[in-house]
A and B are shown apart, each in its own frame.
Chain A
Amino acid sequence: MATEPETPVAALAAEPAVPSLVDRYFTRWYKADVKGKPCEDHCILQHSNRICVITLAGSHPVLQSGKAIKSISYQISTNCSRLQNKVSGKFKRGAQILTELAPLCKIYCSDGEEYTIYICVRGRLMVVNENILHKPSILQEKPSTEGYTAVVLPKFEESKSITEGFTDTKTV
Chain B
Amino acid sequence: MDNLSQNGEGKTSIIEDGSIASKNSNLNVCNVCLGILQNFCEKEFIKKVCQKVEASGFEFTNLVLSISFPPQLSVREHAAWLLVKQEMGKQSLSLGRNDIVQLKEAYKWIIHPLFSEELGVPIDGKSLFEVSVVFAHPETVEDCHFLRVICPDCFKPAKNKKSVFTRMAVMKALNKIKEEDFCKQFPCPPNSPKAVCSVVEIECAHGAVFVAGRYNKYSRNLPQTPWIIDGERKLDSSVEELISDHLLTVFKAESFNFSSSGREDVDVRTLGNGRPFAIELVNPHRVHFTSQEIKELQQKINNSSNKIQVRDLQLVTREAIGHMKEGEEEKTKTYSALIWTNKAIQRKDIEFLDDIKDLKIDQKTPLRVLHRRPLAVRTRIIHSMETHYVDEHHFRLYLKTQAGTYIKEFVHGDFGRTKPNICSLMDVTADILELDVESVDVDWPPALDD
B406 to chain A, nearest CB (A): 13
Asked whether, in the complex, the Cβ of B370 is within 8 Å of the Cβ of A126, the reply is: yes
Question: Whole-angstrom distance between the alpha carbons of A138 and B434 in the complex?
Answer: 28
Asked whether, in the complex, the Cβ of B342 is within 8 Å of the Cβ of A90, the reply is: no
Asked whether, in the complex, the Cβ of A17 is within 8 Å of the Cβ of B336, the reply is: no
Question: Whole-angstrom distance between the alpha carbons of A10 and B141 in the complex?
Answer: 83
**Is A82 part of the binding interface, using a Cβ–Cβ cutoff of 8 Å?**
no
B186-223 to A contact mask, C-beta < 8 Å, 1/0 = 00000000000000000000000000000000001000
With known contacts A17-B342, A21-B431, A49–B390 Cβ distance under 8 A: no
**Is A160 part of the binding interface, using a Cβ–Cβ cutoff of 8 Å?**
no
Within 8 A of A (CB), among B352-376: 364, 367-375
Question: Whole-angstrom distance between the alpha carbons of A88 and B375 in the complex?
Answer: 7
Q: Which residues of B contact A5 (CB under 8 A)?
A: 338, 390, 396, 434
**Is A47 part of the binding interface, using a Cβ–Cβ cutoff of 8 Å?**
yes
With known contacts A2-B388, A9-B390, A151–B374 Cβ distance under 8 A: no
A88-110 to B contact mask, C-beta < 8 Å, 1/0 = 11101000000000000000000
Asked whether, in the complex, the Cβ of B375 is within 8 Å of the Cβ of A6, the reply is: no
With known contacts A3-B436, A20-B431, A92-B375, A13–B370 Cβ distance under 8 A: no
With known contacts A6-B434, A88-B375, A90-B374, A51–B336 Cβ distance under 8 A: no
A155 to chain B, nearest CB (A): 11
**Is A50 part of the binding interface, using a Cβ–Cβ cutoff of 8 Å?**
yes
**Is A146 part of the binding interface, using a Cβ–Cβ cutoff of 8 Å?**
yes
User: Which label, helix, strand, loop or mixed, suits the secondary structure of the A interface?
Assistant: loop
A136 to chain B, nearest CB (A): 14
Interface residues on A, range: 20 to 34
Question: Of A12, A20, A151, which is within 8 A of B367 by CB?
Answer: A151
Q: Which residues of B contact A13 (CB under 8 A)?
A: 390-394
Asked whether, in the complex, the Cβ of A146 is within 8 Å of the Cβ of B413, the reply is: yes
Question: Whole-angstrom distance between the alpha carbons of A17 and B340 in the complex?
Answer: 9
With known contacts A3-B271, A88-B374, A25–B336 Cβ distance under 8 A: no
Question: Of B370, B391, B393, which is within 8 A of A51 by CB?
Answer: B370
A54 to chain B, nearest CB (A): 11
Q: Which residues of A contact B338 (CB under 8 A)?
A: 5
Question: Whole-angstrom distance between the alpha carbons of A5 and B89 in the complex?
Answer: 90
Q: Which residues of B contact A148 (CB under 8 A)?
A: 415
| 28 A-B pairs with C-beta separation under 8 A | A5-B390, A5-B434, A6-B220, A9-B390, A9-B394, A12-B390, A12-B391, A12-B394, A13-B394, A21-B412, A47-B368, A47-B371, A49-B368, A49-B372, A50-B371, A88-B374, A92-B374, A126-B370, A126-B375, A127-B364, A127-B375, A138-B416, A145-B413, A145-B416, A146-B415, A146-B416, A151-B367, A153-B371
- Top 9 nearest A-B pairs (CB, nearest first) are A146-B416, A13-B391, A49-B371, A87-B375, A90-B374, A21-B412, A145-B415, A89-B374, A131-B416
| Other contacts beyond A138-B416, A146-B415, A146-B416: 11, CB < 8 A | A2-B396, A2-B398, A3-B436, A12-B391, A49-B370, A49-B372, A51-B367, A90-B373, A92-B375, A148-B415, A151-B370
